[in-house]
Structure 1
Amino acid sequence: MVQAQPLQHVGNGAGKEDQAYFDPSAPPPFKIANIRAAIPKHCWEKNTLRSLSYVLRDVLVVTALVAAAIGFNSWFFWPLYWPAQGTMFWALFVLGHDCGHGSFSNSPLLNSIVGHILHSSILVPYHGWRISHRTHHQNHGHVEKDESWVPLTEKVYKNLDNMTRMMRFTLPFPIFAYPFYLWSRSPGKEGSHFNPYSNLFSPGERRDVLTSTLCWGIMLSVLLYLSLTMGPLFMLKLYGVPYLIFVMWLDFVTYLHHHGYKQKLPWYRGQEWSYLRGGLTTVDRDYGWINNIHHDIGTHVIHHLFPQIPHYHLIEATKAAKAVLGKYYREPQKSGPLPLHLIKYLLHSISQDHFVSDSGDIVYYQTDSQLHKDSWTQSN
């Protein structure tokens, strides 16, 4: 059973007419091996020193910002410090994310050490998140098996209490979801990224998860100690607000990787799902000046299909793969210095993409008209 495809558009991007006649759920006329063959061989090579240089760059910037904040400690400086440091926390997360994929280096031990340092510093349990994120990549685009921003089925959605429903689909609440996801996952799923006995993990992964939870606990203890010695208000300004901005970045970027395109994209079940078709529902985004800061994580289609490619080769690999992907690759709308253009896609998706059908092997997001009677698209 295939659900009829809605042809809805947002924004003024080029290619509307072509997209209206293109079915993104149609099985592609190429295989993943064809995409792999089109990517230059050197794009698969991991340069450990180059990867470490990005870590050094980001850590130096974070340290310099902390030193400046302590030195100035004025309400003139704090509003400049918070978005800058929050964005750098997000950059640290992306490098830890590369460690989790093994695209940072060929050494599992180095990946684990660097990943723990980077992720623990921003209160992310490295192995717990790494394992669930691996599940996301292995099942991207699958209604039931995906892990990141997985769609709610109509039955699950209608069983949510009104408060949960409003919190999930009313901005700004969804872009603060990540800490809650770490503790209890998404509605309809159970488990915690901190619990070694969670159903997220196999028995052989429990020791790794315990190690990461302990590292997370040590970092939290350090923050509590600093709050006692330096004052809770000062630590809120120095660490707490940047942490919240980091969470906003993480939820904003990861949500838009899989939602909010100007044409609705499919989700799959059963025999219709494949690794390739699921990966092709991912969307590339342009973040302007932020592209370099957060290590081109917006170049996401090729990353999803081949997560072992280092981030510094993703742009070249994507350019090489476009000839194979054809219309299955959606060219990102160019950004100004800051990616303000993406806000309209987020607003549109939050107001429209609420649940998918309980049945059907190819489904699209549907809208609860009672939740948002006056949607963003209707008022513009």
Structure 2
Amino acid sequence: MLKKEQLSFKKEIAPYEKSNLKASIWQLVNTLIPLVALWYLAYLSLSVSYFLTIALAICASGFVIRTFIIFHDCCHGSFFKNRTANEIVGTIAGVLTFVPYLQWKATHSIHHATSSNLDKRGIGDVWVMTIEEYISATPWQRLVYRVYRNPFVMFGLGPIFIFLFSYRLNRKEAKRRERINTYITNTAIVVAYGLMCWAIGWQAFLMIQGTMFYVSGALGIWLFYVQHQFEDSYFENEEDWDYVKAAMDGSSYYKLPKILQWLTGNIGFHHVHHFSPRIPNYYLEELHDTKAPLQNVQTITLATSLKSLRFRLWDEQGKRFVSFRDIRHLVIKPAIDLK
């Protein structure tokens, strides 16, 4: 879009940037009540079948993701009009999802301000190396990057490292208020889940909560990963970077089956969200469906999104993601030239 078109379009979508109290409260109800109910049913099923318990816990993990979307909207100040309400609900949702509210709010705002900017990588995003950077890297740096980008590490160990350990620590740049919020979140997690272990036994708790934690964490990382790591994405250096292009071309429309779209709080309309983070999740689909400029974007499905697993490096010349296999000859060539 041209600058004038952008300004005109921003005026068009302005009504969608205001939260609806009834819609927000209803989303809390249809998310938290099923989450608690499924947790309780999973507990009752322990005397029937462990397989049934795991199945119910996996279903509950979908509502953990939906809870995280509420948390996410609170961080953007889009779930409620009132800042304090966003902070209270966001902090509580953060305890349920193991994420400190103010810490994540700070890093995620940086992600939105720098998404797809090659000169401002490293905070709130997935580590991406360009081909040139990878070729110039030391063997050790390449190994670390390959391990990081390995699906078994990113989606297998990632949930444990990020949600259980990384989010328990404050950032070096964190101010006093953010640090206190992290301490409150950590304390609430220890107390709440400690009491649950005492009430039902740590083995039962671990089977139910552990399954929910791991499955929701892995799927959450996948959602964040896949919506920026598609083949013809958008990355530019600072001088050529454009916020609107980063939103429209660097974020995908992840077209999911309706039940998954509902459980993930419409986050598949990621380009709409990046275009205007102030839009509550319950308006994203309507805005996409009624505004033509938002429909001309990269669309991925469950099937096509699996291809993103092989995309590891950004090709600055070709403007696309490539695999390690695609550039193998470039990595080997310098060693041959030296002989």
Summarize the Cα distance change of 1:60–1:326 in structure 2 as closer, same or farther, 3 Å threshold: closer
Which of 353, 364, 375 is equivalent to 2:312? 353
2:126 to 149, 167, 181: 149
Let me know the Cα RMSD of the aligned residues: 2.9
Q: Partner residue of 2:149? A: 169
Identity of aligned residues (%): 18
1:123/1:220 contact within 8 Å kept: no
Q: Displacement of 1:277 after TM fit? A: 1.8
Matches of 2:171 and 2:150, distance apart in 1: 33
Task: Tell me which of 258, 279, 303 is aligned to 2:228.
Answer: 258
1:326 positional shift: 6.6
Aligned residue number for residue 302 of structure 2: 342
Q: TM-score, normalised by structure 2?
A: 0.83
Q: Does 1:293 align with 2:263?
A: yes
* Cα distance in 2 between the residues matched to 1:91 and 1:52: 14
The residue aligned with 2:40 is: 67
Say which SS state the counterpart of residue 321 (structure 2) adopts: coil
Cα deviation code 1:21-76 (max 9, x no counterpart): xxxxxxx445432332343x532221123202111211110111122112221224
**Paired positions, count:** 318
- Matched residue SS, 1:172: helix
Instruction: Identify the residue that residue 91 of structure 2 maps to in structure 1.
Output: 116
Structure 2 portions without partners, runs of 5+: 330-339
C-alpha distance in structure 2 between counterparts of 1:308 and 1:221, whole Å: 33
Residue among 3, 21, 29 paired with 1:48: 21
Q: CA deviation at 1:305?
A: 1.1
Structure 2 distance, partners of 1:372, 1:121, is 43
> What letter is aligned with 2:302?
L
Distance 1:260 1:132, change over 3 A: same
Unaligned runs of 5+ in 1: 1-27, 185-191, 334-340, 374-380
Name which structure has the greater RCO, CA cutoff 8 Å, separation 6+: 1
Structure 1 residue 345, shift from structure 2 partner: 2.4
Tell me if structure 1 keeps the 8 A contact 2:18–2:278: no
The Cα shift of 1:344 comes to 4.4
SS at match of 2:313: coil
Corresponding residue number in structure 2 for 1:305: 275
* TM-score normalised by the chain length of structure 1: 0.75
- CA contact under 8 A between 1:35 and 1:325: conserved in structure 2? no
Greater helix percent: which structure? 2
Tell me the SS of whatever aligns to 1:272: coil
Q: Which residues in structure 2 correspond to 1:62-101 (within 5 Å)?
A: 62-73=35-46, 74-101=49-76
Relative to 1, partners in 2 of residues 1:325 and 1:77: Cα closer, same or farther, differing over 3 Å? closer
| Cα distance, 1:49–1:120 mapped onto 2, change above 3 Å | same
